[in-house]
Amino acid sequence: MPDGRLRELREIRVREPAAVAAAAQRRRRRGLVGPDGRLMIVAADHPARGMLSIGARSMAMADRDDLLERLCLALSRPGVDGVLATPDIVEDLLLLGALEEKVVIGSMNRAGISGAVFELDDRFTAYDVTTIASMGLDGGKMLCRIAPDDPATAATLEACGRAVSGLAAHQLMAMVEPFWTRRRAGGGAENDLSIDRVIHSVVVTSALGATSAYTWLKLPVIRELERVLAATTLPVLVLGGDPGARGAETLDGLQAALELPGVRGIAAGRALLYPDDDDVAGAIDRVAAALRRPATTPERAGCQGATR
């Protein structure tokens, strides 16, 4: 990042707020996927839900200048296709000129603040379909937590279904991140990452909206992920999660998942932006190399009449 660029960014936000829309309109766009049909997205929508910790560093993502430096470095690396973020971060990156010819996915529902009594009330409080389309973004991402013991789940499913339909009407990607979720005894929520519950979350969210033509799923890397992938034909991006003290193991898991049929790429943030050794470029390059390597596991034969 050039010296003074972040100071200039703050000055623009004070004196020229219309510069955000202007930067969005002149941004050079690209297709969603390239010739290899794969996608590497760096995710940075965690702060909007109050998720600032990386392992033992409780406020790691609270330093916005540091986060923007890491994002700009990540976006400059070969193999990185784009970013997933909330409006504030997307607009910072637009003003910094970091999103030229990049895929930009706007994060939509961020109301379920981590640890709050209303954590499972995943209302749409960030991007909406109209703004994503008017700003020339490439899609929208939604968190879809399914908690059978929480009545707020019905409203979340309905809102996600509307968002999927709306994005598809503009021929834009709907990135859906599903979890089967339960409340902890002491408060808060936790995702059930058992194989059967992950499969349940996939089959429910795959059917959201009036069409699934533009829907991609964002799924965790778990044991026997191939069983989960067998439950859908939708394109899948794997997520990284909080690497904690096992950052190297997290990167190993991501690399292995990228070899599986159905996995088309990665949408990870903390594992790539805050690796154990703080070598952002190294973590990005390692995963990018695995992503761009052709999968070694062949696809299963399809129906005779299937369109290829």
Q: What angle do CA 166, 164, 106 make, to 5 degrees?
A: 85
Higher pLDDT pick, 82 / 286? 82
Sequence letter at residue 84: L
Six token digits for residue 68 = 């923007």
Paired sense of beta strands 263-268 and 39-44, if any: parallel
Paired sense of beta strands 189-191 and 236-239, if any: unpaired
Q: What is the pLDDT of residue 117?
A: 87
How confident is the model over 212-237, as pLDDT tens digits?
999 999 999 999 999 999 999 999 99
Q: Which helix (H) or strand (E) holds 144?
A: strand 139-146
Q: Shortest CA distance to 42 belongs to which of 91, 88, 103?
A: 103
- CA 174, 208, 44, 255 torsion: positive or negative? negative
Strands of 63-102 (E only): list them: 82-85
Answer whether 167's CB lies under 8 Å from 140's CB.
Answer: yes
Domains of the chain in sequence order? 37-292 (3.20.20.70)
Q: What is the pLDDT of residue 306?
A: 47
Six token digits for residue 78 = 């070969």
How confident is the model over 166-188, as pLDDT tens digits?
999 999 999 999 999 988 877 67
Q: Shortest CA distance to 92 belongs to which of 129, 65, 128, 62?
A: 65
pTM above 0.85, yes or no: yes
Residues in contact with 206: Cβ distance below 8 Å, sequence separation at least 6, in sequence order: 212, 215, 217, 231, 232, 234
Q: Which residue has the tokens 């991609």?
A: 216
